[in-house]
């Protein structure tokens, strides 16, 4: 039995005046990527300088204007990487490098040494304020922890005397989620009072969900509560830094935006300590799916995946939102059918808005392809098979034919597992287009009898075919080529076939276009029915090939059931 009694419920703030549930996200926040610091420190094999450069260049292309590039006092690699960015003039105008330091003088001094010559910097200092860490890690009182934060601010101001660049201060009460709200406010307001930001020169107060401890609505309450009570609020950029310990990092971020957060810190695809950081791309694509400009250049998710997997040396999960290989894939037959109908409706209605069941966005809008949308296995239905035949190969199977061909694919999938589109086409060709035994149609000549008043029929056909390899022929008349061929088959083969349905369409455009004809045929003697398919540049030949295809399928079915033909 789970020993759940070992765990205490995290206290919930009593905050009935909350207003965030009635708000909507209407614009993008300020984005700050921490891939090169928080993300990098969580890698099994941290990035070397060249890999950090590749990730940094990607972040610039994506449009990030605030990038936490490292913890320069923590390691020489971090220090050297930041120096290279500065010395090689790799920092575009309008981009701020963010550097992290604990509230310790030797670390702050080392950080200033590292950023010498940088034009625009966010100097990010932090100390843990949580009840648990004050007790078991630092053994410090509330007053002592608050004084440590204030001393960190003073050391940063001292370092600014010889810096010369544009510096913005960021302060984080680390483990904010485990800190008493009144104490977190006390420390943050003390820091604000010490730094004295203005609307023209604001500072950042960053509230980290360093460890996600409760539901996202509780965090949102804390953000709104703080936002309403922070001193000099018009001079403060309120930032959040969610982690994902409970698997709700994205929800935490989105509710915090409703609650008044101006800025989000996170990583691409959520790489980070334990279960990871906030997935910035998830939030950005969510905004995009709601018609909001995310203010990031995220049209080519394939490039983002390639760089992240190469630099982080970790794969993107196949089910990861937006980026996973399977997220625009459907195995369920009912889903496949709905996607098929949705895509058809979208084309027919020429709608300016995307609206397809089970696809929240058009995969093409973020650089994905339609081909992976539908994959066929033993759980797939007739709609999915029909969708593959249409979208991949241009065969628009009549609705009445969907079940018959789906049963063919079902048998293959039960035997072999997933069936690729090429395998589906091969089965279609074998079952219909190449079904030429025992009766193989060779050629047809059609004569128009409409001017011959003595004839009650308007068409004469001369058909050559082989039966078990022996060439045979017949001539017949009828009202149109198909009626004439049907009469000829009855007289030549001694069997009565009835055409129940007939459909045709062009496969390709242009002078060399091909036509596909679908014939639903019934053996009048046995009552058995099947479909046949023919393809030709001439619609009459395509139709006759469809009749012979269906007759052969009926013969094959009769042979398997022990019925004489």
Q: What are the pLDDT digits (tens) for 313-333? A: 999 999 999 999 989 888 777
Residue 22 in domain: no
Last residue of a domain, one of 431, 465, 500: 431
pLDDT at 382 > cutoff 90: no
Q: Are residues 444 and 422 in the same domain?
A: no
Question: What pLDDT is attached to residue 565?
Answer: 34
Q: Are residues 545 and 489 in the same domain?
A: yes
pLDDT at 370 > cutoff 80: no
Q: Are residues 417 and 487 in the same domain?
A: no
User: In the structure encoding, which two tokens stand for residue 187, read together?
Assistant: 């420390």
Full-model pTM: 0.77
pLDDT at 549 > cutoff 70: yes
- Residue of 38 and 331 predicted with greater confidence: 38
Residue 2 in domain: no
Q: Are residues 298 and 342 in the same domain?
A: no
Number of structural domains in the chain: 3
User: In the structure encoding, which two tokens stand for residue 164, read together?
Assistant: 């010369």
Last residue of a domain, one of 376, 403, 431: 431
Q: Which CATH number do you get for residue 405?
A: 1.10.287.1400
| Contacts for 376 with CB less than 8 Å, ≥ 6 apart | 331, 384, 385, 388, 409, 413, 418, 419, 421, 424
Residue 23 in domain: no
Q: For 546-557, b where at least 16 C-beta lie within 10 A, e where not — what string?
A: bbbbbbbbbbbb
Question: What pLDDT is attached to residue 283?
Answer: 98
Phi, psi of 61 (to 5 degrees): -65, -35
Mean pLDDT of the 109-131 span: 96
Nearest in space to 307 (alpha carbons), one of 532, 92, 33:
33
Three-class SS of 453-489: CCCCCCEEEEEEEEECCEEEEEEEEECCHHHHHHHHH
Last residue of a domain, one of 258, 281, 312: 312
Element (H, E) at 98: strand 96-102
Q: Which CATH number do you get for residue 490?
A: 3.30.160.270
Q: Picking from 86-90, 415-419, 471-475, 497-501, which range would have the lowest pLDDT averaged per residue?
A: 415-419
How many other CB atoms are there within 10 angstroms of residue 509's CB atom?
Answer: 7
- The whole-angstrom separation of Cα 270 and Cα 41 is 13
Question: What pLDDT is attached to residue 562?
Answer: 44
Q: What are the pLDDT digits (tens) for 482-540? A: 999 999 999 988 888 999 999 999 997 555 689 999 999 999 988 999 999 999 999 99
Q: Are residues 145 and 259 in the same domain?
A: yes
Residue 15 in domain: no
Q: Are residues 272 and 419 in the same domain?
A: no
Q: What are the pLDDT digits (tens) for 438-448? A: 999 999 999 98
Domain that holds residue 250: 28-312
Nearest in space to 120 (alpha carbons), one of 86, 95, 87:
95
- 3-class secondary-structure state, position 228: helix
Residue 459 in domain: yes
Q: Are residues 515 and 532 in the same domain?
A: yes
Mean pLDDT of the 303-318 span: 96
Mean pLDDT of the 11-34 span: 96
Residue 239 in domain: yes
Residue 324 in domain: no
Q: Decide the pairing of beta strands 120-128 and 166-174.
A: parallel
- Residue of 131 and 18 predicted with greater confidence: 18
Per-residue pLDDT band at 11 (split at 50, 70, 90): confident
Q: Are residues 139 and 191 in the same domain?
A: yes
Q: Which CATH number do you get for residue 188?
A: 3.20.20.70
């Amino acid at each position: 039995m789970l020993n759940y009694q070992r765990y205490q419920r995290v206290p919930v703030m009593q905050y009935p005046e909350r207003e965030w549930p009635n708000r909507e996200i209407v614009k993008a926040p300020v984005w700050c990527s921490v891939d090169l610091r928080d993300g990098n420190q969580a890698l099994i094999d941290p990035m070397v300088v060249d890999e950090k450069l590749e990730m940094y260049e990607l972040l610039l292309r994506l449009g990030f204007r605030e990038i936490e590039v490292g913890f320069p006092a923590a390691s020489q690699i971090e220090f050297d990487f930041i120096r290279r960015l500065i010395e090689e003039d790799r920092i575009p105008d309008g981009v701020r490098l963010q550097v992290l330091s604990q509230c310790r003088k030797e670390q702050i001094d080392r950080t200033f040494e590292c950023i010498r010559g940088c034009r625009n910097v966010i100097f990010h200092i932090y100390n843990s304020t949580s009840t648990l860490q004050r007790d078991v890690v630092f053994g410090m009182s509330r007053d002592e922890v608050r004084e440590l934060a204030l001393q960190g601010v003073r050391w940063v101001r001292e370092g600014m005397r010889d810096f010369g660049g544009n510096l913005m201060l960021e302060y984080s009460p680390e483990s904010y989620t485990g800190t008493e709200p009144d104490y977190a406010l006390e420390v943050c307001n003390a820091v604000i009072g010490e730094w004295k930001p203005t609307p023209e020169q604001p500072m950042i107060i960053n509230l980290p969900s360093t460890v996600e401890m409760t539901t996202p609505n509780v965090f949102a309450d804390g953000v709104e509560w703080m936002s309403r009570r922070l001193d000099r609020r018009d001079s403060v950029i309120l930032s959040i830094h969610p982690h994902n310990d409970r698997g709700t990092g994205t929800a935490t971020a989105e509710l915090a935006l409703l609650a008044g957060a101006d800025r989000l810190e996170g990583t691409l695809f959520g790489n980070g300590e334990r279960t990871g950081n906030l997935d910035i791309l998830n939030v950005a694509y969510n905004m995009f799916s709601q018609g909001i400009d995310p203010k990031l250049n995220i049209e080519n998710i394939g490039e983002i995946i390639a760089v992240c997997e190469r630099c982080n040396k970790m794969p993107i999960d196949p089910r990861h939102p937006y980026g996973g290989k399977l997220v625009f894939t459907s195995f369920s037959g009912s889903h496949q059918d709905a996607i098929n109908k949705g895509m058809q409706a979208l084309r027919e209605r020429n709608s300016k808005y995307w609206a397809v069941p089970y696809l929240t966005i058009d995969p093409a809008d973020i650089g994905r392809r339609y081909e992976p949308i539908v994959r066929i296995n033993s759980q797939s239905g007739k709609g999915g098979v029909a969708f593959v035949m249409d979208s991949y190969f241009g065969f628009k199977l009549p609705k009445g034919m969907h079940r018959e061909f789906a049963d063919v694919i079902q048998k293959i999938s039960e035997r072999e597992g997933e069936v690729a589109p090429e395998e589906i086409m091969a089965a279609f060709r074998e079952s219909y287009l190449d079904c030429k035994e025992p009766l193989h149609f060779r050629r047809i000549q059609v004569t128009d009898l409409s001017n011959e008043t003595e004839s009650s029929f308007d068409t004469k056909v001369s058909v050559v075919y082989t039966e078990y390899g022996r060439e045979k022929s017949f001539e017949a008349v009828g009202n149109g080529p198909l009626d004439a061929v049907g009469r000829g088959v009855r007289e030549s083969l001694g069997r009565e076939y009835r055409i129940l349905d007939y459909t045709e369409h062009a496969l390709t455009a242009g002078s060399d276009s091909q036509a596909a004809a679908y014939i639903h045929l019934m053996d009048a003697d046995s009552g058995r029915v099947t479909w046949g398919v023919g393809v030709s540049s001439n619609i009459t030949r395509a139709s006759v090939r469809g009749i012979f295809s269906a007759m052969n399928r009926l013969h094959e079915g009769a042979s398997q059931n022990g019925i004489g033909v």
